[in-house]
A = this chain, B = another copy of it.
Amino acid sequence: MAVLRITALAGGIGGSRFLRGLLRAAPDAEVTVIGNTADDITLHGLHVSPDLDTVMYTLGGGIEESQGWGRAGETFAVAEELAAYGAEAQWFTLGDRDLATHLVRTRMLAAGYPLSAVTEALCDRWQPGVRLLPMTDDRVETHVVVTAGDDDESADAAGDARERAIHFQEWWVRLHAEVPARRIVLVGADRAKPAPGVLDAIAGADVILLPPSNPVVSIGPILAVPGIRDAVRGAAAPAIGVSPIIGGSPVRGMADAALTAIGVPTTAAGVAELFADLLDGWLVDTVDAGATAAVEAAGVRCVAVPLWMTDVDAAAAMARAALDLAEEVRAR
């Protein structure tokens, strides 16, 4: 039998943990991961790609397991010094080990390499066991529109409701997504092109997976790059998604705040509806078994299985369920 070609879209922590399970569930598969880069941010002159790095570190064995992001055995000497210099953006702490990745990336970008080539070079070291592609080599940045004054940096004397757009990382990391988001804007997405290999990986896949990543700020930006959503919708392969919402709450992170910003209910069915145009199957947690009917009414085959990624085995079981669901919908 031919090698199973799996293409997955992925954000950071949830996506990476699912992918680690996938590699255990399907060790012989050829996996391509299309990573979200709309979280990317320039800090201290360095190009930081949090989601790509989380995938790379998690699958390459370099992740800090306890938090799911950043490097194991991390130290913070540089960050302490930057603080002593009064440098910007101290709310986003770069670890020393992690920073080396950004130095290499920034240097290669400055030398003219596209992010896809840089990512490939970084993965040369990490050997993540997947082909990791950024969704685009172009600059796309998720910005969050908040009401000026809601965040402490732009208090508005007049008290009116003027808007202010801040980088997603500032909203997420500095403000803990506690400031209501009026809108989420994907700056540059309309002009971005899929990175080399992205559309081919979708068109050539046997299975397309949407891991339990944040639907709004991880999967959303990937699908917003012109051509990618159409490619998934038009692909021969079934597209199977895994709900990042269990029992009305995000498995981790603050997906509810992001969903509220785009007017989507924080439910397994609500998220499925976001992607209904391209999904063939959707996994919800057993506590959300009652939602399967609504999802199926939208034309998406829906199965309830345990979705807590308590360890790699649990993630592998989820991945297996996703692959089984792909088989099932393919057979129909």
With contact pairs A77-B75, A99-B78 given, residues A85 and B45 touching in the complex (Cβ less than 8 Å): no
Q: Using CB atoms and an 8 Å cutoff, list the residues of chain A in contact with chain B.
A: 44-46, 74-75, 77-82, 84-87, 96-97, 99-101, 103-104, 106-107, 110, 122, 125
- B78 in contact with A96 (CB, 8 Å): yes
Determine which of B46, B84, B96 lies in contact with A125 in the assembled complex, contact meaning CB atoms within 8 Å. B84
Contacting residue for A77 out of B82, B87, B97, CB 8 A:
B97
Q: Shortest CB–CB separation between residue A236 and chain B, in angstroms? A: 38
Interface contact A104-B87, CB-CB below 8 Å: yes
A298 to chain B minimum Cβ distance, whole angstroms, is: 46
Q: In the bound complex, what is the Cα–Cα distance between A245 and B87 (angstroms)?
A: 41
Interface centre among A44, A84, A100 (most CB of B within 10 A): A100
User: Does A103 contact B78, Cβ atoms closer than 8 Å?
Assistant: yes
A22 to B176, CA, bound (A): 51
Chain B nearest CB from A309 CB (Å) reads: 28
Cα of A77 to Cα of B106 in the assembled complex, Å: 18
* B85:A125 contact, CB within 8 angstroms: yes
A78 with B106, Cβ < 8 A, contacts A85-B122, A125-B84 known? no
